[in-house]
Amino acid sequence: MLYIHNTLTRKKEEFEPIDAADVRMYVCGPTVYDFAHLGNARPIVVFDVLYRLLQRLYPRVTYVRNITDIEDKIMDRARENGETIESLTARTTQAFHDDMAALNALPPTVEPRATQYIGDMVAMIEKLVAKGHAYVAEGHVLFNVPSMGNYGELSRRSRDELVAGARVDVAPYKKDAADFVLWKPSAPEQDGWDSPWGRGRPGWHIECSAMAEKNLGATFDIHGGGLDLIFPHHENEIAQSRCAHDGAVLANYWMHNGFLTVNNDKMSKSLKNFFTVRELLAHAPGEALRLALLSGHYRSPLDFSIEALQAAKAKLDRWYGALRVVAYEPYVDCNPPSSFEGALLDDMNTSLAISHIDKLVNNIHAKRITEGDDAAKNELLSCARALGLLYQNPEEWFKWKPAGQSGLSDEEINAQIAARLAARQAKNYAESDRIRDALAAQGVILEDGPAGTTWRRG
C-alpha cells in the first residue's frame, strides 16, 4: 500500500488510482532558457523515484513532464543572445536531457513542449471566456478569480494574501486585483501566434493546463512540482482546468518537493547561489549528485554543500565496493524486499531506504560474502536501482576522475576569479557565468559566500 502526502488535504493518504491499469502523473518541467541548477534537478530526481515505484506497483504508468519553451524569460534571453527562441530552446532542452540522463532520471512517457500545444491553449481559453470565467481586455485575456467560488483551495491563502501575491503585475484593465493572464499580446518584434484576440502568446499557467488535458484527460492521479509552484502556478492550473471542465477535479493528489538550499537560502538564479548540474558533473559523478538529492526526505528542505556531495560520493564508493564483491549485473529482474520497499511506500522515505542499503553493504563487507552470492547481489541491485543508483560497472566507477584535472595554477585561478568579479560588477553576467563554467570544465568549483568567492579543485 502506497501512502503519499497530499498538499490538498495536508495529510498523508493511501494512494488509490483512478484506473489501476494506467496510473497518470503530471510534473511541471523546466523553462528552458539556461542550464538547470541542482535545485531544478530535485523535483526531477524525486519524481523519478516515485515513477520507478509506481512502475513496480502498477502495470502501466503514464508520466507527463512538460518543457516550457515559450515564456518571457526565454524571449528575453534569446534577444540578449541575438538568436531565435527555437535555437535557444533546442540547445537548452538538449542540455537538460543530457544533465538529467547523467542523474539517471528516466525520460517521462510523454514530454510535451508548450509551443506544440498553442491551439489547445487557445481552445481552452475560448471555453473559459464562453463560460464567463475569463474576459478580454486590451488584447489580453484574463481569468476572473471571483468567478470561481472555491478558488484558493490548494494554497489556502486568504483574499488579502491572494491580492498581495497578484500585485506584482498590477494592470489597469484587471477587473479584480487577483485576476491572472491567460493570453497576452505580442509586439511585432516579439514571438507570437494568431488568436481570436490578436497576435500574442499564452501565459505560463494555461500551458500546463492544456498539456495535461491533452495527454492525461480532465482528471488524473498525481500532480507534482516544487513547493514554490503551489501558488500561483498550481492554484491557477486548478482554476483554469476545473472551470473549463465543469468543475471536474484536476488531480486527486498534489505532491511538492521542498527546496534545495545553500546555507539555508533557496538555491535560485536570482540569489546567484546556484550550482548548475553541468558544473557539478565536472566535480562528481551523476550518481553522487543523485544520492545527495535523495539523502533527505523530499518534503523537507535539503541543504547542499560540496562536503555533502563528497559524503555521497564516499558512500557510493563503499556501495560499489560491495557490488564488486557480489558481482555486477547490468540487469536485475527482481523487486526489492518488502523491508526496503516499505520505506518508499511510506511517502517516499528515501533516507530510511538508503540506511537499509547501508546495512546490507556493511554486511557484505563485514561477512566478506563471497563472489557470486546471488541473494545479496539481487538485494543490493534491486534496492539501489529502485533509487536509480548502482548502474555502473564498479571497475568504471572507480576509474572516475574529475573532468580536466586542472593544470591551472593557483595564480591563474585567482586571476580568473578576479575577472569574474569585475564582470559581475559590470553586470556582465553572461561573461561571469562563462568564466565560472570554464573553470568548472577544468575541475575548479567556485563557491560564493558572504566573505567572497572560494574555490576547490575537483
- Chain residues in the site for ligand AMP (CB under 6 A): 28, 30-31, 39-40, 42-43, 225-226, 228-229, 257, 259-260, 266-268
Pick the closer one to ligand AMP by CB: 235 or 341. 235
d(CA 331, CA 350): 22
Stretch that binds Zn ion, among 24-32, 166-174, 436-444, 446-454 (CB under 5 A): 24-32
Asked if residues 114 and 73 have their Cβ atoms less than 8 Å apart, the reply is: no
Shortest gap between Cβ of 250 and Zn ion (angstroms)?
11
Pick the closer one to ligand AMP by CB: 257 or 392. 257
Shortest gap between Cβ of 379 and ligand AMP (angstroms)?
31
Pick the closer one to ligand AMP by CB: 39 or 402. 39
Pick the closer one to Zn ion by CB: 28 or 325. 28
268: partner contacted, choices Zn ion, ligand AMP, none (Cβ within 5-8 A by kind): ligand AMP
How many CB atoms sit inside 10 A of residue 116's CB? 12
Shortest gap between Cβ of 394 and ligand AMP (angstroms)?
31
Stretch that binds Zn ion, among 93-101, 203-211, 256-264, 330-338 (CB under 5 A): 203-211
30: partner contacted, choices Zn ion, ligand AMP, none (Cβ within 5-8 A by kind): ligand AMP
Pick the closer one to Zn ion by CB: 166 or 344. 166
Shortest gap between Cβ of 27 and Zn ion (angstroms)?
8
Shortest gap between Cβ of 147 and ligand AMP (angstroms)?
27
243: partner contacted, choices Zn ion, ligand AMP, none (Cβ within 5-8 A by kind): none
286: partner contacted, choices ligand AMP, Zn ion, none (Cβ within 5-8 A by kind): none
Stretch that binds Zn ion, among 15-23, 81-89, 120-128, 207-215 (CB under 5 A): 207-215
Options 208, 293, 312, 381; binder of Zn ion; rule CB under 5 A: 208
Nearest residue to ligand AMP, scored by beta-carbon proximity: 226
Shortest gap between Cβ of 284 and ligand AMP (angstroms)?
18
Shortest gap between Cβ of 234 and Zn ion (angstroms)?
7
β-pair partners for 455: 446
What's the grid cell of residue 13?
Answer: 493518504
What's the grid cell of residue 417?
Answer: 576569479
253 burial level (CB within 10 Å; 0-12, 13-18, 19+):
buried
Asked if residues 256 and 229 have their Cβ atoms less than 8 Å apart, the reply is: yes
> C-alpha angle with apex 255: 249 to 256, nearest 5 degrees?
130
31: partner contacted, choices Zn ion, ligand AMP, none (Cβ within 5-8 A by kind): ligand AMP
Pick the closer one to ligand AMP by CB: 124 or 229. 229
Q: If binding is defined by CB under 5 A, does position 250 make contact with Zn ion?
A: no
Cβ density class 367-393: b for 16+ within 10 Å, e for less: eebeeebeebbbbbbbbbbbbbbbebe
d(CA 337, CA 388): 16
Shortest gap between Cβ of 267 and ligand AMP (angstroms)?
4
Pick the closer one to ligand AMP by CB: 174 or 266. 266
What residues from 27 to 66 belong to the interface with Zn ion (CB under 5 A)?
28
Pick the closer one to ligand AMP by CB: 133 or 205. 205
208: partner contacted, choices Zn ion, ligand AMP, none (Cβ within 5-8 A by kind): Zn ion
42: partner contacted, choices Zn ion, ligand AMP, none (Cβ within 5-8 A by kind): ligand AMP
φ and ψ of 37, to 5 deg? -95, 170
Number of residues that bind Zn ion (CB under 5 A): 2
Q: Where does this chain bind Zn ion (CB under 5 A)?
A: 28, 208
